[in-house]
Amino acid sequence: MNIKHKTLFLVVSSVILVGLALPGYSATPKKGKAKTISTAVISDTARTIAPYFSPATAKKMTPDSKGFIQRWLLLEPINKPNRGNTVFTDSYLRTNFSMEYFPNQFTVLPKNGDKVKVGEQELTWHALESSLFNVKLFRFAYGLRKQYYGVIFWAVTVVNSPQEMKNVRMAVGSNSASMWWLNGKEAVLLSGDRRMVADDCVSPRLTLNKGKNIIRGVVINGPGMSDFCVRLLDEKGQPIKNLTITYE
Amino acid sequence: MKLKNKILGAAALLTVLLTGTVKAQVGKPFIHDPSTIAECDGKYYTFGTGGGGLISEDGWSWNSGAVRPGGGAAPDVIKIGDRYLVVYGSTGGGLGGGHDGRINTMWTKSLDPKSPDFKFSESNVVASSANMEDNDAIDPGLLLDPTDGRLWLSYGTYFGFIRLVELDPKTGKRVEGNKAINVAIDCEASDLMYHDGWYYLLGTHGTCCDGANSTYNIVVGRSKKVTGPYLDNMGRDMIEGGGKMVVAAGGRITGPGHFGRFIVGNGIEKMSCHYEADLEQSGRSVLAIRPLLWKNGWPYAGDNFKEGTYEIESERRGYALELVVDFVRMAGGMRGFGRNTDEPIKPVASQELADVIKTWPEGKINVRIGDYMFRPHQKWTITAAPNAGGYLGAPYYKIVIAGTDRALAATAEGEVETVPAFTGAPEQLWRIDQLTDGTYRIMPKIVPNSKEQLVLVSSGDSTPTLAPFDMNSDNSKWNFKAH
């Protein structure tokens, strides 16, 4: 049993505001290429985004050994109060994901450190690499001392393909609901009060362009540990790994 | 008139088939986050969130009355030697507004509050979570590894990882130096079990605590090592959110969560859980006990027996249990070859009870097993016997020839027969357990003048008798087919 499903601690989280801390990834994180799933318990009681994230670099990065994309530009959470996740119906999500939160939100390829204004909030884009197969948005927000419940997260990454690939599918899991686009075209919507499960929802067949492709996603959560995982599958359902991931 | 009677008869039969009901448990089985069911001195116990729990004298009728000190949430219980180890989360899970949790263990020699042995030891903290770490130390589940006697505890919620630690089965304390490991994400109310060389990690997925809208469901992954990785049927690690469904909502009960396993005997296993909402019982959270079945190495919830009218088919040959009466031929025979195929097609009425019952003896009639021909002497109506109590998870049933009160009964000679009218005598009460392979065991409550526990078996293709149950023999297994 987890009472979080019944109660949103917005009161608590809403007082956790911008600017209370050093940049969260100041600690030296574990880095490397294809990370395998570790069962070791890592110490994470310090309020930092390490060991979940490290700053993105210009080094060549491919998807991990299972094809999960770990390099992302993440926007600090947008305040979106929801006392529970039962409101995340398809129509609610389409309405709220089509609203403009910041200029050019469906086209911009931000740079690390870029700032946007969302209502009264000034939010920063962070170019990061996840140390896990999934991107733990809760830890991103908590580590940066931002609010972590009642939020919307935007994520962007660039997938560089050595050739055009047809019949590709985008496989996504997210906590909670989310929506994803490939090169500006809607790929997949995950509705309802969801938990992140790898390959939970998969897009229809898509085409990866030769060269640069932009994946954009938006994740919404009320109370709960927001996160997502994304990988691309080939026409046989196998993860595509001969890609490079950049953030610019 | 005759046609009308037949239509009414068919409608009545259809009604029985369609309205067969399945209850969770009777009494006041209201509980949330139940522990694995434990048996103590002939009674059954389960504890829930808060300090209390349920007691059952027979496993079918459950009422409040169990007592557990410590309060907190979502306990589990396991019997080790002559003591019971009780484990519970004292904080965390959002209780009190946070995720700083503690898992506590304590011992008692009896679960019966009236027993002089009902004394709980001081509790030990065996796991904890603090400072928003990626874990929520609540919802414990215990496994005593049958292969080596080691004791394992899984715990956690959606708030981060499900973790596994090792406890000392002698003290109930954490093994010194043991470090927790992560075994799953995105579930809660985990539990562990061992079966046929595999370790299984059960987790409850979905949303709790939202009544009829709760989406709770129980999923499983398995591993050759207790420490994982626990993979689902697609090879997906539970640390990636994987899990194969064990039980979801169905009927008018929704939100199964907090798995517990109870092994009755070889081939007979039960699983307990709560349903978040039983729409027949004000949408309350209720205890449920269902058969636990296995298919291709994966566990899944069987269905509690549904009252109705059935063929009772032997697993041995596929023949049907029937009365020893004269076979009454239906009108007509083979239509013959070379007939005009343009003749109108019309249905042929089935043989009805009224067509044959006058040919049956009035006293006791023996039973045999024969080719199923959907004849009245082969159709059995099975309903819960009123006020007859039950056993773990189900009531005792009466088994009568459809449309009559002629009841199947055990004899003092260890055979089976039918008596003209059901009287409620214990030899006319039947326990029906779904076996782990999906077939059924059919067992009389008693065999007159015997202390042996015998079940209905096929001693030949066409001959039933009573004999000890043998899970490895199809002679001991039956199927219920609704035609």
| ipTM confidence | 0.86
SS3 state of residue B7: helix
Interface touch A86/B227, C-beta < 8 Å: no
Q: Is residue A41 part of a domain?
A: no
Q: Is residue A196 part of a domain?
A: yes
On chain B, the residues whose CB falls within 8 A of the CB of A195 are 158, 186-187, 205-206, 241
CA distance B30 to B284: 7
Q: Is residue A204 part of a domain?
A: yes
Q: Report the chain A residue with the minimal C-alpha distance to residue B33.
A: A1
Q: Is residue A100 part of a domain?
A: yes
Q: Is residue A39 part of a domain?
A: no
**A45 touching B (Cβ < 8 Å):** yes
Interface touch B135/A196, C-beta < 8 Å: no
Q: How far is B187 from chain A (nearest CA, A)?
A: 8
CA distance A134 to B182: 15
B17: exposed, middle or buried (Cβ count in 10 Å: 0-12, 13-18, 19+): middle
Within 8 A by CB and 6+ apart from B358, the residues are: none
Cβ atoms of residues A228 and A217 within 8 Å: yes
**Measured CA distances, A27 to A47, A48, A54, B54, B245 (Å):** 11, 8, 9, 50, 40
76-95 in chain B: CB under 8 A from chain A? 93-95
Mean pLDDT across the stretch B179-206? Answer: 97
CA distance B144 to B126: 16
Within 8 A by CB and 6+ apart from B305, the residues are: B22, B382, B394, B397, B432, B434, B440, B480
Within 8 A by CB and 6+ apart from B237, the residues are: A37, B221, B228, B229, B230, B231
| pLDDT for A32 | 35
> Where does the pLDDT of residue B202 fall: very low under 50, low under 70, confident under 90, or very high at 90 and above?
very high
| pLDDT for B62 | 97
Please provide residue B353's backbone torsions phi and psi, each rounded to the nearest 5 degrees: -55, -45
| pLDDT for B356 | 98
297-356 in chain B: CB under 8 A from chain A? none
- Classified by CATH at the fold level, domain B26-301 comes out as Tachylectin-2; Chain A (2.115.10)
CA distance B413 to B465: 10
Mean pLDDT across the stretch B413-422? Answer: 98
| pLDDT for A13 | 34
Work out the number of other CB atoms within 10 angstroms of the CB of residue B72: 23
Of A47-61, B18-32, B234-248, B328-342, the poorest mean pLDDT is in B18-32
| pLDDT for A37 | 67
Record the pTM. 0.91
On chain B, the residues whose CB falls within 8 A of the CB of A147 are none
| pLDDT for B323 | 98
**Measured CA distances, B64 to B53, B89, B113, B261, B281 (Å):** 6, 21, 12, 21, 16
Which residue pairs, CB below 8 angstroms and at least 24 apart, start in B413-417?
A: B414/B447, B414/B450, B414/B452, B414/B454, B414/B465, B414/B466, B414/B467, B415/B366, B415/B465, B415/B466, B416/B366, B416/B367, B416/B456, B416/B464, B416/B465, B416/B466, B417/B364, B417/B365, B417/B366, B417/B367
Two tokens at A124? 């920063």
Residue B427 has pLDDT above 80, yes or no: yes
| pLDDT for B334 | 77
Domain spanning B2-21+307-330+350-481, CATH architecture: Trefoil (2.80)
| pLDDT for A2 | 58
CA distance A245 to A63: 7
Two tokens at A139? 């830890």
On chain B, the residues whose CB falls within 8 A of the CB of A4 are 93-94, 157-159
| pLDDT for B51 | 82
Please provide residue A93's backbone torsions phi and psi, each rounded to the nearest 5 degrees: -70, -45
**A200 touching B (Cβ < 8 Å):** yes
Mean pLDDT across the stretch B82-101? Answer: 84
Q: How far is A152 from chain B (nearest CA, A)?
A: 18
Mean pLDDT across the stretch B33-61? Answer: 96
132-171 in chain A: CB under 8 A from chain B? 133-134, 139, 142
Interface touch B182/A39, C-beta < 8 Å: yes
Q: Could you say which of A5, A12, A224 has the minimum Cβ distance to residue B208?
A: A5
Interface touch A6/B94, C-beta < 8 Å: yes
Read off the amino acid at residue A211. Answer: G
Q: How far is B100 from chain A (nearest CA, A)?
A: 11
| pLDDT for B409 | 98
| pLDDT for B24 | 66
60-99 in chain A: CB under 8 A from chain B? 85-86
> Where does the pLDDT of residue B93 fall: very low under 50, low under 70, confident under 90, or very high at 90 and above?
low
Residue B21 has pLDDT above 80, yes or no: no
Interface touch B183/A199, C-beta < 8 Å: no
| pLDDT for B295 | 98
14-33 in chain B: CB under 8 A from chain A? 32-33
The count of structural domains within chain A is 1
**A7 touching B (Cβ < 8 Å):** yes
On chain A, the residues whose CB falls within 8 A of the CB of B258 are 1
Please identify which residue in the block is written with the tokens 């994470």: A44
- H helices of B368-418, in order, are none
> Where does the pLDDT of residue B465 fall: very low under 50, low under 70, confident under 90, or very high at 90 and above?
very high
Mean pLDDT across the stretch B129-156? Answer: 96
Mean pLDDT by 10 residues, chain A (248 residues): 43 31 33 54 84 95 98 98 92 97 96 97 98 97 96 98 98 98 98 96 98 98 95 97 95
Cβ atoms of residues A49 and A79 within 8 Å: no
Range of the domain at A205: 6-31+47-246
Q: Is residue A36 part of a domain?
A: no
Q: Could you say which of B73, B97, B182 has the minimum Cβ distance to residue A41?
A: B182
Residue B13 has pLDDT above 80, yes or no: no
**A39 touching B (Cβ < 8 Å):** yes
| pLDDT for A8 | 36
B350 vs A16, residue with greater confidence: B350
> Where does the pLDDT of residue B218 fall: very low under 50, low under 70, confident under 90, or very high at 90 and above?
very high
Two tokens at A118? 């969302």
To which H or E segment does residue A95 belong?
helix A90-98
**B215 touching A (Cβ < 8 Å):** yes
| pLDDT for A55 | 97
CA distance B427 to B457: 16
CA distance B70 to B469: 42
Residue A200 is part of a domain; what is its CATH number? 2.60.120
Q: How far is A172 from chain B (nearest CA, A)?
A: 12
Q: Is residue A38 part of a domain?
A: no
Domain boundaries, chain B: 2-21+307-330+350-481, 26-301
